[in-house]
Amino acid sequence: MCFSETQGPCFVASWRRWVIIFFVLWEIRIRPQRQLAARSPHISLNCPRSFQPDFIRLTEVFMKCILSYCLFCLLFPSVVFAQTVVSMRIDGAINPVVADFIHDGIEKAKKENAECLVIHLNTPGGLLKSTRIIVSDILESPVPVIVYVSPAGAQSGSAGVFITLAAHIAAMTPGTNIGAAHPVSLQAPMDSIMSGKVTNDAAAFIRSIAEKRNRNIEWAENAVRKSFSYSETEALEEPRRWKNG
């Protein structure tokens, strides 16, 4: 488990290019004046603005706009560049340590006013109690949370299904799978009554998540009750089939 941050430039790649444009425009402004002065010796380079050609006045206005923009970029660089993206990686079972780690990641993203939090997820499953804590944190997060099942060969199994569905945006890299969320006991085997209770509770839990995120409820419930599992392509197509069916 680890944190990382990235910052990307917005539509302006670098303010330095505007500085270059400024000097180019400066040369464009000076040269017409020199040529005009050479052709008409009685006209001074420092003549009143009313006597300057329209081209020179227009270039001067545009050049001042570029200069103002360059000054703005130098004084307020945080405005020029895009917001921070906080990235974290989960590779292993879901447990209280992972729950605390994700909670801290959300708090970090909120504190830094990040654009979003990206969780790279690879898990076979884990504890239902820890999963509930994580899901609650994600659903209540003021910062958009993206769960990305990766790298190729990774899975979002069992508890991972709940976490993936709870995200604002869920994505999977090619060669990954999701599903098989039927609850199992890590200790003594459950009798039929207890197994039914736990399954019904987990099914209701995943239905509430799917409804909250406007995702296919029947698809989500089948992952719990019938242990359905899907590749990244099937996970994209199956919910549409259930809706159309």
**Could you tell me which of 172, 194, 89, 186 has the C-alpha nearest to residue 128?**
186
Neighbours of 170 (CB within 10 A): 21
Rounded distance between C-alpha atoms, residue 171 and residue 85, angstroms: 16
Is 40 labeled as catalytic in the residue annotation?
no
Beta bridge partners of 224: none
Neighbours of 195 (CB within 10 A): 15
**Could you tell me which of 176, 130, 115, 182 has the C-alpha nearest to residue 150?**
176
Is 4 labeled as catalytic in the residue annotation?
no
Q: Which of 64, 111, 197, 243 is catalytic?
A: 197
Q: Which of 150, 156, 158, 229 is catalytic?
A: 158
**Helix, strand or coil for residue 146?**
strand
What letter represents residue 241's amino acid?
Answer: R
Tokens of 107: 């708090």
Tokens of 128: 């239902």
Rounded distance between C-alpha atoms, residue 79 and residue 10, angstroms: 9
CA 81 vs CA 6, 69, 143: distances in Å: 11, 14, 18
The catalytic residue positions are: 158, 197
